[in-house]
Amino acid sequence: MARQDTPLFLHGFDLGGHFVDLQPLGTGVTGLVLSAVDQRTGQRVAVKKLVMRDTVSVKHGLREVKITHRLHHENVVRVHEVLAPYGRPLPRDPTLLSALYIVQECMETDLARLLEQGPLPTGHATLLFYQLLRGLKFIHSANVLHRDLKPANIFINTDQLLLKIGDFGLARIVDPHYSHK
């Protein structure tokens, strides 16, 4: 078993041997998000750790996983996989886990950081706003409410001017046949 001071346990993340070059990306409601290189694909990814402390955090974590798996659109951050500790697949009963790891595409920056650099050119702002509306239309058509839409949860790749909505930790499914319990 790996020791607590090895890269495997950087910032409390125990991802197994598939991920290298772990770097802090940001923090969210649920904790730290790291960027890493997935050695299986060579691709840089973002890894969000959801700590499963009690029944409430387990319920919120599993809801986020369910919602993120449901959404596939070019203006929504894509989830590659969800892992258990040590990079293992999820067990049949994920309520027994201490943490879940959502491995998703890594974006260059977020709208909050981009706006700190100054106002956007009108053409760029128009294109990004259009993509934001496209993503929201898709999310709402899937009966999902984001509930935490803010510049820090709107991710952008500046070289392509590509916008994606992320962080569904507070999202809810709006469906009379779905129970949040």
Which amino acids are annotated catalytic?
148
Residue 108 vs residues 85, 99, 114, 124, 162: alpha-carbon distances, Å: 26, 26, 10, 16, 10
